Amino acid sequence: MDFLQGWADAALTSLGFFWVAFWAFGLGYLISAAIQLFVSRDRMQQAMGDENLGSVSRAAVFGFLSSSCSFSALASARALFAKGAGFVPSMAFLLASTNLVIELGIVISVFLSWHFVVAEYVGGLVLIGVMWALVALWRPQKQIEAVRHALEAGDADQPEDPADLAQSPALWRKLAKSYLMEWQMVWKDVTVGFTVAGIIAAFVPADFFTWLFPGTGEEGSRSFAEVLSHAVIGPVAAFFTFIGSMGNIPLAGLLFANGVSVAGIMAFIFSDLVVFPVIRVHARFYGWKMAAYIAALFLAALVLTALAIHYGFALLGLDPQSASRGLVEPTERFQVDYTSWMNLAFLGLTAVFGWLAWQGREGHDHDHDHDHDHGGGLDRVLYWLALLAFGWLAGGLAVFALT
The tens place of each residue's pLDDT in the chain, 403 residues long, gives 589 999 998 899 888 878 877 887 787 778 777 876 777 666 766 778 788 899 999 888 888 876 666 777 888 888 888 888 899 999 999 999 888 876 677 667 766 888 888 999 999 999 999 999 999 999 999 999 999 888 877 655 556 666 667 667 888 888 888 888 878 777 887 788 778 778 877 887 867 777 888 877 666 678 899 999 999 999 988 887 665 565 667 677 777 877 888 999 999 999 988 988 888 889 988 999 999 999 999 999 999 999 999 999 989 888 786 555 555 555 566 677 777 888 899 999 999 999 988 886 655 454 444 444 444 566 688 789 889 999 999 999 999 998 8
- In sign, the C-alpha dihedral spanning 84, 89, 92, 96 is negative
| CA 63 centroid distance within chain | 12
Give the contacts of 138 (CB within 8 A, at least 6 positions apart): 297
Pair 378, 281: CB distance under 8 Å:
no
Q: CA 307, CA 226: separation in Å to the nearest integer?
A: 11
CA nearest to 354, candidates 163, 189, 167, 183: 183
Q: Which class for 395: exposed (0-12), middle (13-18), buried (19 or more C-beta within 10 A)?
A: middle
Note the pTM of the prediction, 2 decimals. Answer: 0.71
Q: CA 264, CA 247: separation in Å to the nearest integer?
A: 17
Q: How far is CA 4 from CA 193, 231, 241, in A?
A: 21, 36, 21
CA nearest to 231, candidates 265, 279, 274: 265
Pair 224, 307: CB distance under 8 Å:
no
**What is the rounded (10 degree) CA torsion for 232, 122, 68, 82?**
-80
CA nearest to 80, candidates 155, 139, 180: 155
Give the contacts of 175 (CB within 8 A, at least 6 positions apart): 33, 34, 37, 165, 353
Q: What range defines the domain where residue 55 resides?
A: 3-402
Burial 268-278 (b: 16+ CB within 10 A, else e): bbbbbbbbebb
Q: At residue 314, what is the residue type?
A: A
Q: CA 27, CA 148: separation in Å to the nearest integer?
A: 24
How many domains in the chain? 1
Q: CA 185, CA 190: separation in Å to the nearest integer?
A: 10
Write phi, then psi, for 223 (nearest 5 degrees): -75, 165
Q: How far is CA 307 from CA 162, 210, 263, in A?
A: 45, 19, 5
- In sign, the C-alpha dihedral spanning 179, 180, 181, 185 is positive
Pair 180, 33: CB distance under 8 Å:
no
